[in-house]
Amino acid sequence: MNLFQFVFLIFISVSLYKVVIKIKNGQLGIKESFVWVFAWVLGAIIIFDPGISIKISNLFGIGRGVDLVIYSSIIFLYYISYKIYLKIDSLQKKIKELSTKIALKD
């Protein structure tokens, strides 16, 4: 195990621990829990055996395993950004409704 693998294994372990704590406290839903646990476990597997990413990338017609990891990360970040955008939009609508109700009440 090289230094990179060791450092990221610690990072992934801490991140997984935080996800488990949030699940136990009820702060994270089932769907979100599955996504985060899957992402961290997949990251740990790829860090331990980088050859897996090469095999998977060849299935998709991508030349290198690191390219697959980068492409997947970008797609994942877009997905997370979209989910955050939807949540913020929903919260803005709720705030607008509440402020209208409060203004009309007075």
Domain assignments of the chain as residue spans, ordered by start: 20-104
Token pair belonging to 77 = 């970040």
pLDDT at residue 106 greater than cutoff 80: no
pTM (2 d.p.): 0.71
Whether 23 contacts 30, CB under 8 Å: no
pLDDT tens sequence across 37-58: 998 998 899 888 888 989 999 9
As a whole number of angstroms, the distance between CA 93 and CA 105 comes to: 18
Residue that the structure tokens 């997947």 belong to: 72
Token pair belonging to 102 = 């409060």
Whether 33 contacts 23, CB under 8 Å: yes
